[in-house]
Structure 1
Amino acid sequence: MAATVPRVKLGSQGLEVSAQGLGCMAMSAFYGPAKPQCDMIALIHHAVAVGVTLLDTSDVYGPHTNELLIGKALQEGEVREKVALATKFGVSFSGGQREIRGDPTYVRASCQGSLKRLGVDCIDLYFQHRVDKRVPIEITIGELKKLVEEGKIKYIGLSEASASTIRRAHAVHPISAVQLEWSLWSRDVEHDIIPTCRELGIGIVSYSPLGRGFFSSGPKLADSLSDQDVRKYMPRFQPENLEKNVQIFDRVKAMAVRKGCTPSQLALAWVHHQGSDVCPIPGTTKIENFNQNIGALLVKLTPTEMDELESYASGSAIQGERYLEMGNTWNDSETPPLSSWKVE
């Protein structure tokens, strides 16, 4: 398969990536047991050979094991210069408890840890995974700015941040990308966050663009989830909500048949048609699924077809929240004013 993936620009600082990236989380964590390392490295090498340049990971995936996997794939495949490496900090598990941290000491220590595990000298795109509501966003971004100046990271990103948090952060140092959940069944970001990013010239990285696999497998996905898969406990996959959400999948599937593509390709194509400042990062652990996802780039949608797709999942059509607990998402990411910060 030839390298045919087009490029998009994220932000105004020079970051250019493939129009579709590869989310690597499920290879190591949260969606069931970790997958065989040799298979995942083969998948990563295949993705890069096809033309995918954005690999997305985080220090919390495992924790740490996904970064180690990516680092080994980069080393074995000699592909470091071909990819933009994105990782994240901010979610810490200590003593079985989750803590969100954005204080300077933690930011710097996290960066050093990721650099070591990935086996690189510089992280291309470094996201704050979740916003620490105890620390003014200016303080967190200020430390990231120092890391840019030191050459440890190239570009700064935010994940699950509100519009006002994005504005405050961008005023300290240009934000190149905001990572958020955006798909046919997660569209609330369109009201405020997407317009803010576009006003400020910030790129958009869409995670879970296939509705966490829902638009790939439909209702049968819920029947196959293991107890180690977090989706099993997510509201949208609970029977009372899934019964209604499946109606959306059925309509997408029917339209996909008319278009001569799969439901997942149609749902992913919808994200691609949102603009040239958007890079979805569908995750997978199988090369055949990856190839299918890349095929979405060939699916063309007319404005009428876009409207039809959006009508399937408009308003209150989607049942259930995105997460079991909606805390630590953009709905809940405001930080104290900078004036409240006291240096100890």
Structure 2
Amino acid sequence: MKFPLAARCYIGLIAICSIQSNAFSLNSNMRRNNLLKMSISPLEETTSQGGRSLDEIAKELATGRVLESGPVVDFEGTKDDTSKAERALAAARKAYLANPTAHVSTSKRLMGINDDVVKEVGREIGNDADPKMVQIAAAYLRSKAPKGYFAESTKQNTSAAYLSSLKSDDENTDFTQQQIEEASKLLKNAYLESGEVTEAFAKTFYLGTQLMPEDARQAIWAVYVWCRRTDEIVDAPRKPTDPDMLQDLSQWEVRLERLFTHGEVIDVLDLPLLDIRIKYPNLSIQPFLDMIRGMLMDIPDLGQDRYDTWEQLHLYCYRVAGTVGLMSMPVFGTAPGYTYDIAK
């Protein structure tokens, strides 16, 4: 059974997780399988209903943390760097970092925004924003963060577009009133487009967000859209001319790390995530990284399509659904007397 984009959770508001499944073509799967087989050298190992070996599964489960001496296992940050999936993703990441310009998409659409998304929403998303204005808006948002909130960056670990925006960042207050107004408008529109995507794919979930205060509502839309784009990168059908899925996923992970560490954005839909990264200092990158690991578990020949024990299923459910709850926790907070670990 496969759950490409799992539950969107309300902490303290909604106790039931919803799981959405997306269909994708057999041809896409066959093509993906062939690409994956060429990307790594398989080890001699016994598999369990998929590409993950019994040894790989056992290693990841063994790193889980028991909370309060009870049966609840915490799988946050769990991964096995020696597994086929991690080795394949690491190889794709190494290739991308070695020559980022060779992996630039020729598509006019944003990464993770494809035919399926455009069809569901009813129009193109995010492709009419001026790239230069996106960087100015990002610089303006970073200028509102406390000093030292974001680490300094270098040419070796960031993009040219981001570097070009650092002058405004250094000057901090050197933004014209027009730039501030245009940046604010761009961010507002990015949030509205995030809401449109949320409404198109998760109608009942979207209705629930209408009951929230504006800041919380927008923050949850930003989280949802990042999850949606991640899911589309992994599951959407690919044309023969499209980049390798692992190539895209590794690039997506690097983008996430740079946003959290340096405040770097690539496109307009990154702006809401940067905004909530600043508004909610306790927002951790780890649940986002863990969701990417959950997506890896869905990939044929690398993942797992049958779960023989509760612990195996628990790990998968944490990665594709529980992570959403942890992403949401800084937005909603916890009840008085409850720590982060207890709430988790």
**Range into which the TM-score falls when normalised by the shorter chain:** under 0.3
Structure (1 or 2) with the larger CA radius of gyration: 2
Higher relative contact order (CA 8 A, sep 6+): 2
Q: Under a length normalisation based on structure 1, what TM-score does the superposition of the two structures give?
A: 0.26
Between Structure 1 and Structure 2, the one with more helix by share is 2
